[in-house]
Amino acid sequence: MEQPAWNAHLYDTKHHYVSEYGDSLLELLAPQPGERILDLGCGTGHLAYKIAQRGARVVGLDNSPDMIRLAQENYPALEFVQGEGAAFHFDEPFDAIFSNAALHWMPQADEVVRCMARALKPGGRLVAEFGSRGNVAAIIGGMQKALQAYGYYFLEQQTPWYFPTIGEYAALLERYGFRVVYATDFDRPTPLEGEDGLRNWIVMFGGAFFRLIAADQTEQIIADIETRLRPTLYRDGRWLADYRRLRLAAVRG
Ligand code: BEZ
């Protein structure tokens, strides 16, 4: 399945928790003044800005032209580049690569890790967090059942996301010369904003499943997904996405 055409404004207004959760990942990165750091999958630039505030020279890279445009508007003094995670190259190497909630959008993981290894200085570090195996399993299950109830196929392999286990990703990093120095896999139920939180999430991130379905039927199917998932994902007056995270730090040999 193809990647979504991002609605950068909706992302920035309704899904700002994505960069807020990145704050603790920044602590793991511990950017130092003068370091050259790549923010891979920088989105609208908020975490790149926080890295720059620590005195590092940051470059934000994102595949979405809309995200890059909004990042440049948000932080005109910073450098943002549009490019693919699986095919990027910079002439000047980086001291560190940081990536929050982005690697799960890059299923060509082998190429991504190859690019990251090539872009880092020897001894350079990678600090990343993204969805791990089982991430959003309840949401995927709800979408699958509702789409099937309306006569549409939904094969799990069609999802555009890559959610590896620690073992899979660590092995991949080692293949490209990284030494994994920290890795953890944890559940992080994530509050979605407002009564329409699940609906907004589906529109923002799962829109591709509905691309060939008429708008009025899409409405019905999303309402059906809400009904199916309310008993498990709606608690104490708010929706919670069943996020599961892989957080890791690795050093390039
Ligand atoms: C995530 O952050 O885990 C995620 C976001 C969008 C789609 C799938 C997963």
Domain total in the chain: 1
- Write the CATH number for 46: 3.40.50.150
Is residue 149 situated within a structural domain?
yes
Give the pLDDT band (50/70/90) at residue 23: confident
Is residue 1 situated within a structural domain?
no
pLDDT in tens, 56-102: 999 999 999 999 999 999 999 999 999 999 999 999 999 999 999 99
CA of 244 from ligand 1 middle (Å) equals: 9
pTM for the whole structure: 0.91
Residue 104 CA: nearest ligand 1 atom is: 9
Nearest CA to ligand 1 atom 3: 131
Residues within 6 Å of ligand 1 by CB:
101, 104, 131, 135-136, 161, 205, 243
Give the pLDDT band (50/70/90) at residue 7: low
HEC per residue, 22-76: HHHHHHHHCCCCCCEEEEECCCCCHHHHHHHHCCCEEEEEECCHHHHHHHHHHCC
pLDDT value for 211: 86
CA of 34 from ligand 1 middle (Å) equals: 32
Between CA 175 and CA 167 the distance in angstroms is 12
The alpha carbon of 42 is separated from its chain's Cα centroid by a whole number of angstroms, namely 9
Contact 127, 96 (CB under 8 A): yes
Is residue 98 situated within a structural domain?
yes
pLDDT value for 15: 61
Nearest CA to ligand 1 atom 2: 101
Is residue 177 situated within a structural domain?
yes
Cα four-point dihedral sign 135, 62, 178, 109: positive
Residue 161 CA: nearest ligand 1 atom is: 8
Is residue 244 situated within a structural domain?
yes
pLDDT in tens, 104-132: 999 999 999 999 999 999 999 999 999 99
Is residue 64 situated within a structural domain?
yes
Residue 131 CA: nearest ligand 1 atom is: 3
Is residue 2 situated within a structural domain?
no
Answer whether residue 156 shows pLDDT above 90: no
Q: Do you know the residue count of the chain?
A: 253
CA of 30 from ligand 1 middle (Å) equals: 25
- Identity of residue 205: F
Domain that holds residue 131: 8-252
Find, among 121, 123, 55, 62, the residue nearest to 92 by Cα: 121
Is residue 148 situated within a structural domain?
yes
Between CA 209 and CA 147 the distance in angstroms is 9
CA of 238 from ligand 1 middle (Å) equals: 18
